[in-house]
Every structure is written in C-alpha cells, then in structure tokens.
Amino acid sequence: MAKEIVKKIKLEIQAGKATPAPPVGTVLGPAGINLQEFCTKFNDATKDKMGDVVPCEITIFDDRTFDFVLKTPPAGFLLKKVAKINKGSSKGANEVVATISEADLRSIAETKLPDLNAYTVEEAMNIIEGTARNMGIAVAGRTDKELQEQAKEALEEEKEMAKREAELEAMEEEAKAEMPVDVPVIGDEDKDKENEEENEN
C-alpha cells in the first residue's frame, strides 16, 4: 500500500551545512520527522555543492518518513556568485552593479535548465538574462551597452529631479520670507468694530 503524503515543505539550505538547529529545525520539527537523519542525508547529497544555496523539496508521509528532491540553486544566487557581488541593484536595471560574460550566462542557464520552463539552453539564457537585468547585472556583448545607456539616462533623470526639488524648496523658502510677519487673524475685524462702537458709546 502506498504511503500517504501529509505535507510538502520547500527549504533553501546551504549545501553540506544542514543542522537540526533553526531554521531547519523550526520548519521540520513540527512535521515530526527525524531531523538528524534528514540533515545527514541532505549534507551527504550536497557535499559536492559546498558554497551553494540548494533549494530542497521535502515530502513527508503519514508514517513520519520522508523523501526529498534537490533543486538547482536560485538564479539570483548563481548570478551574484559569478558577478562576485553580495547583492543586486536596489534600482533594478537603472543601475549597473556588475557585468558578467556570455559564457557565465550560458553556464548558469545550463545549471538551471532542469528547473526552468525552457526546452533549450538559449531559452534558459533569455530567462536568466531577464533576472540579471532586474538585478542590475549586465551581460557583456548582450545587454551591457543597453543597460549602461539606461543607467546613464536614469542618473540624468535623478539629477534633474534633485535640481527641480531644490528649486522648489528655494521658491518655498522665498515665499515664506516674503510673507508679512503680522498676519491678521480672520474674524478680528468684527472684534475691532465692536471695540470701536463701545468706545463711541
């Protein structure tokens, strides 16, 4: 009789470094599986990928046994690793933070191909290129000129915006300076009239 699947859990763990401590223990503990057994099996299966982050899909059965499938590292992780950067651009394609070669792009596409919705390496390269663009990583010979041009335009636009804001602030300051100090409070005129009438009486 086939075992019944009770849960599927997805985790991203550093290759060869799974331990029963958090975050692994926190996520898998409530599932009731043997944490030490999972960590040993995962670390053995990923020891050749040391330094990578490996996504893992764990299937848990009704008898508390488990099975897991290793996926390829996230495209963003592989791109940062190849580009030798800690994080992508906060401004997306409007800021180029690194450039990788087309060979690097192909290598990442070949690694990711099994997990991508693509049939050829070229299709996979286009998908990875899109991810790289969003991270501000240019691909030499493919997107570098276009992205650098885009980043340059964005910088010009930023400068123009800053200039406009500074001008606006200066105008506001000028307007404040020109305002009369003794601004009469609306409604005071009536009181003045009342006072005058009282004085006349």
pLDDT of residue 69: 93
pLDDT (tens digit per residue) in 157-179: 878 888 888 888 888 887 777 76
DSSP three-state, residue 98:
strand
In degrees, to the nearest 5, what angle opens at C-alpha 155 toward C-alphas 153 and 157?
A: 70
Whether 199 is in a domain gets the answer: no
Residues 26 and 98 in one domain: no
DSSP three-state, residue 186:
coil
Whether 198 is in a domain gets the answer: no
pLDDT of residue 196: 60
Give the DSSP letter string of 10-25: EEEEETT---SSTTHH
pLDDT (tens digit per residue) in 134-155: 898 988 877 767 777 777 877 7
Question: DSSP character for 88?
Answer: -
Question: What CATH number should be reported for the domain holding residue 169?
Answer: 1.10.10.250
pLDDT (tens digit per residue) in 105-137: 999 999 999 989 889 999 999 999 999 988 989
Say how far apart CA 111 and CA 53 lie, in whole Å. Answer: 13
Residues 133 and 52 in one domain: no
% of the chain with per-residue pLDDT over 70 = 88
Q: What is the reported pTM?
A: 0.63
Please give the residue range of the domain that contains residue 137.
72-176
% of the chain with per-residue pLDDT over 90 = 39
Whether 183 is in a domain gets the answer: no
pLDDT of residue 189: 55
pLDDT of residue 178: 73
Residues 10 and 43 in one domain: yes
Residues 122 and 44 in one domain: no
Would the pLDDT of 92 be above 80? no
Residues 170 and 79 in one domain: yes
Higher pLDDT, 1 or 107: 107
